Structure 1
Amino acid sequence: MLIGAVDVGSARARAGLFTLDGRLVARASRGFATIPGPDQQAMYHFAEIWQAVADALTEARHQAGVPPAQIGALAFDATCSLVVDAPGFSPDVIAWHDHRAVAEAAELSRIPHEVVVRAGGSVSPEMQTPKLMWLKRNRPGIWATLNGVRDLCDHLTFRATGIEARSLCAAVAKWAWLPDRGGWQQDLLERAGVADFPRPGPVLSPGSRIGPLSPQGAAELRLKQETLVATGLIDAFAGALGAAPGMPALIAGTSNCVIAAGIGPRTSLWGPYPGAILPDESVTEGGQSATGALLERLRALYHEPTDHDVILARIASAPEPAADLHVLPDIKGNRTPFADPLLRAVIQGLTLERSPEALDALYWRAAVGIALGTRQVIAHMGLIPQALAMAGGQARSPLLRQLYADAIGAEIHWQPEDAVLRGTAILAAAPLSGGVLAARDCFARPIEVTKPDPAACIRRERDWRIFLRMQEQRAEIAAM
């Protein structure tokens, strides 16, 4: 029997198959389109996401050479995008990074409530309650015909099983739901004017048994109905579960998230969230929006099509470029430490040069700015880590792992066999293995350690001082 895991990120669905003792057997991915809109809107078609999921699972199964009956359990992780299940609403998924609800988020932030406290005192437009407020105010006809409105990871399990259930992870991190305060915060929802949205079904801890695939889900995923589906996670939290335990985790993908346990409420941090990953543990998240997305934007500037691995290989093979080029990477606002969705990036030292070497230099210095932003997030969280687990797309690059080690001054611990998919596979295996903790122990794998380089740390300290000064200058200009 094999365990299936599906990770739905910002642009791709990835599927992995694992043995019950945690060995990765096969992995495949399929892309899907982002539909941009006005006012910082971004959306997806769920049907396209679901097709990508089905195709990735089928390809992984073909790679492994196993029939559908061999997939005994399945779980999903996904970005915290919002699926609006209502006639006539298309595209029907509001992307996690959609910022249409900036005004609603600011309004919500002015309400004295524990949900706002655990949003760091400033609710992000990336959370679900402000998006619900926007939807009701701007699309009242859609609101009146809602069949459901779900986090993407929950809608994936609903489509697979036909059973209504929400992940505690998504509910506590992105919705007005507090497990230690009675669940749904009806008073806040009423003040926000959205208390009437449909929310049937229980809120389940990650790795809980939901049920088997429905006949429709089995047919669409090309699996057997007997496949058991377990409650999933938001993608960053899945990465934290699958990375090295016992230390803070950096999930560096389209955005960067630092997740750590044992941190109390603090401005510009999200949490603490009881039970969001493991029972009897509260985690807090600090983050940066659109970090990997910035590198992707810069990749698109090259005259000839190229991929990130080629760019990074060129940078690694030459002397470090452009010490006089500096980047504040906030292309879509700042989560931590400023909690300001309207902040924007700054580039100091840009020229008109468009050669591959010049673009490599800009790419590298943007990566340096991103790593320094992660250092700032960690400092704001009050952490002084000796080691940091790393997961996500950026973690696959040895050069970027070394950059983070040098910028943060901590060892980077990396689990090479895809920590995000591994975390989701742990959830799928949990009902069969005695729970999430037991499954995590079974799935543990050796890690690779990247230590800070003393000479590079000196260069990053200079960059750090400039980074902070540029933030001061940006604030001074904004005040003018």
Structure 2
Amino acid sequence: MYFGIDLGTSEVKGLLVGPDGRIVAQAGEPLDVSRPQALWSEQDPAAWWAATETVVAKLREAQPLAWAQVRAVGLSGQMHGAVLLGAADEVLRPAILWNDGRSHAECDELTAAAPRLHQLAGNLAMPGFTAPKLLWLRKHEPDTYARVRTVLLPKDYLAFMLTGDKVGDPSDASGTLWLDVAARDWSDELLAATGLSRAHMPRLVESDRPAGVLRPALAHAWGLRGEVAVASGAGDNAASAIGIGANRPGDGFISLGTSGVLFVVNDRFRPNPASAVHAFCHALPGRWHQMSVMLSAASCLRWFTRLSGAANEAALLAEVAALPATSFAAAPLFLPYLAGERTPHNDAFAQGTLHGLTHESTRASCAYAVLEGVAFGLADGLAALQAAGTQVSRLSLVGGGARSGLWAQLIADVLDVEIVVHTGAEAGGALGAARLAWLATGADEATVCTKPDVTARYQPDSARHAALGARLQRFRALYPAVQSLNPRGAA
């Protein structure tokens, strides 16, 4: 039995996979995000560990026999977050998360301090990445910066709690701006640009390899016997790719979670930072991937559900499904930039906009605009990948948004690409984490990294694609029209 842990932004998920590769049980525990100031986004690492222990307790209670057979643990997690440890391995402050925008000025400073940044890291300096956060800390919290002895990514903090070892992996480390992505190793040159060295970093182990073993005392407390291997794991999107069998060049998927990601596997390092495309290591040796990222996706639907007073997201989606098709052309337009945006704008100050409201606008028509706006954001991401030389004809859909057939069809129509949903698609990175645990026990990639059964297919409608194209052009014109009204423009 293999246990996968996915440390998301809104939830810690746990998943058990049996020796036949099937999902045996799942459990989750919600997390809160603290936003003490504008652009800030933080979480307490202690809350991650408490949620992990709660998930373990739920799985033990639900599947005691299966749980007792766990032989390996794998990890997946939200990327880019800065977990800062002191000399006694104590957490020095709340973790600064991937969707935190405070270090926008430090991005320019990092680019100036590291002339080969784009060549080595393969990515633009963006506030969400880890390195600019340390420059911000050095400037604004110098006493804390001086006490930093280790910087860990979120899932690597869980690995530390599990094993007592400080271990990371190339896929997650790709999002720090400290990694030589082609070499899959830390770059002394990039670390020095933020006043750090390899001594501040965890050692790197490929995602499918054992990084350590579960601490004996913890294994005993969790009711596990024998030596339990812990795989180094992967960043959430690379882990999701392993979960749906995207391990060969050209395989790709869309993740509709808190953020929205379009991910395509490559056989080599193919950076194209000019279009705000991410080029990262994949979770398997000798493979890389390109990725476009929008910072708010399914979280936009959660936000509008709360704002509009709908009973829940399912009820709101039912209202959208009841709209006549003729009403879509008159619906408002929505810019889904609730937390700034990465691809294609790289603008921490971008804001959400609901444009075109009239007396005829309803909750349902505005909800449709939110779904469509996220789909249009994904279209911008696909265009950026295409400009970088990547072509796709089919994409899998994973994450919480994969539950909505309405949204899946809309995305297929907007992108003009077949969308497929697999068994366990909502499991996201947790399934990939469990598969990485399986690989860490010596299992064969061909056996483990199979594509789960397809449960639904959504073929693009050419007429609908053409109709949506006109609205997409208006969507793309809206951002430059309002950009100067956002805080930085007003300043």
TM over 0.5: yes
Q: Superposed, which structure 2 residues align to 1:146-161 within 5 Å? A: 146-161=148-163
Q: Superposed, which structure 2 residues align to 1:327-342 within 5 Å? A: 327-342=334-349
* Structure 1 position 82 matched with structure 2 position 90: no
3-state SS of paired residue (1:452)? coil
3-state SS of paired residue (1:380)? helix
Q: Where does structure 1 differ by over 6 angstroms across 4 or more consecutive aligned residues?
A: 476-480
Alpha-carbon distance in structure 1 between the residues aligned to 2:21 and 2:102: 41
* Structure 1 position 36 matched with structure 2 position 40: no
Does structure 2 retain, via aligned residues, the 8 Å contact 1:295–1:363?
A: yes
Aligned position for 1:366: 370
Aligned position for 2:440: 431
- Equivalent pairs counted in the alignment come to 472
1:307, distance to aligned residue in structure 2 (A): 2.0
Decide which of 429, 450, 458 is 2:458's aligned counterpart: 450
Do the aligned partners of residues 66 and 378 (structure 1) sit closer, same or farther apart at CA in structure 2, a change above 3 Å counting? same
* Structure 1 position 239 matched with structure 2 position 248: no
* Structure 1 position 264 matched with structure 2 position 270: yes
Alpha-carbon distance in structure 2 between the residues aligned to 1:339 and 1:85: 29
Query: Could you give the per-residue CA deviations for residues 10-48 of structure 1, whole angstroms, max 9, x where no partner exists?
Result: 111111111122111111111122111114111111121
Alpha-carbon distance in structure 1 between the residues aligned to 2:198 and 2:252: 38
Unaligned runs of 5+ in 2: none
- Range that drifts further, 116-125 or 67-76: 116-125
* Structure 1 position 20 matched with structure 2 position 22: no
Decide which of 93, 97, 100 is 2:99's aligned counterpart: 97
Alpha-carbon distance in structure 2 between the residues aligned to 1:18 and 1:67: 9
Do the aligned partners of residues 187 and 120 (structure 1) sit closer, same or farther apart at CA in structure 2, a change above 3 Å counting? closer
3-state SS of paired residue (1:36)? coil
Q: Superposed, which structure 2 residues align to 1:144-183 within 5 Å? A: 144-178=146-180, 180-181=182-183, 183=185
Q: Superposed, which structure 2 residues align to 1:396-407 within 5 Å? A: 396-407=403-414
Do the aligned partners of residues 138 and 219 (structure 1) sit closer, same or farther apart at CA in structure 2, a change above 3 Å counting? farther
Do the aligned partners of residues 465 and 424 (structure 1) sit closer, same or farther apart at CA in structure 2, a change above 3 Å counting? same
Query: Could you give the per-residue CA deviations for residues 199-238 of structure 1, whole angstroms, max 9, x where no partner exists?
Result: 25x2011111122211343356554462221111111221
* Structure 1 position 296 matched with structure 2 position 302: yes
One-letter code aligned to 1:85: L
Alpha-carbon distance in structure 1 between the residues aligned to 2:220 and 2:94: 22
Aligned position for 1:380: 384
Aligned position for 1:473: 481
Does structure 2 retain, via aligned residues, the 8 Å contact 1:41–1:100?
A: yes
Alpha-carbon distance in structure 2 between the residues aligned to 1:42 and 1:27: 27
Taking structure 1 as the reference length, what is the TM-score of the superposition?
0.90
1:419, distance to aligned residue in structure 2 (A): 4.1
3-state SS of paired residue (1:66)? helix
Do the aligned partners of residues 468 and 28 (structure 1) sit closer, same or farther apart at CA in structure 2, a change above 3 Å counting? same
Does structure 1 retain, via aligned residues, the 8 Å contact 2:99–2:128?
A: yes
Does structure 2 retain, via aligned residues, the 8 Å contact 1:269–1:285?
A: no
Alpha-carbon distance in structure 2 between the residues aligned to 1:195 and 1:288: 31
Aligned position for 1:311: 316
3-state SS of paired residue (1:41)? coil
Alpha-carbon distance in structure 1 between the residues aligned to 2:213 and 2:428: 25
Alpha-carbon distance in structure 2 between the residues aligned to 1:55 and 1:452: 42
Does structure 2 retain, via aligned residues, the 8 Å contact 1:244–1:413?
A: no
Does structure 2 retain, via aligned residues, the 8 Å contact 1:260–1:285?
A: yes
One-letter code aligned to 1:24: I
Aligned position for 1:194: 196
Query: Could you give the per-residue CA deviations for residues 420-452 of structure 1, whole angstroms, max 9, x where no partner exists?
Result: 3221111010022435454213x7434532111
Alpha-carbon distance in structure 1 between the residues aligned to 2:371 and 2:60: 35
1:89, distance to aligned residue in structure 2 (A): 5.8
One-letter code aligned to 1:294: C
3-state SS of paired residue (2:233)? strand
* Structure 1 position 420 matched with structure 2 position 397: no
Does structure 2 retain, via aligned residues, the 8 Å contact 1:15–1:56?
A: yes
Aligned position for 1:51: 50
Alpha-carbon distance in structure 2 between the residues aligned to 1:220 and 1:143: 35
Taking structure 2 as the reference length, what is the TM-score of the superposition?
0.88
Query: Could you give the per-residue CA deviations for residues 304-324 of structure 1, whole angstroms, max 9, x where no partner exists?
Result: 5x2212211222233245533
Alpha-carbon distance in structure 2 between the residues aligned to 1:477 and 1:241: 41
Alpha-carbon distance in structure 1 between the residues aligned to 2:400 and 2:219: 29
Alpha-carbon distance in structure 2 between the residues aligned to 1:109 and 1:474: 27
Does structure 1 retain, via aligned residues, the 8 Å contact 2:150–2:200?
A: yes
Alpha-carbon distance in structure 2 between the residues aligned to 1:115 and 1:438: 38
One-letter code aligned to 1:38: Q
Does structure 2 retain, via aligned residues, the 8 Å contact 1:208–1:430?
A: yes
One-letter code aligned to 1:76: L
3-state SS of paired residue (1:240)? helix
Decide which of 275, 280, 283 is 1:277's aligned counterpart: 283
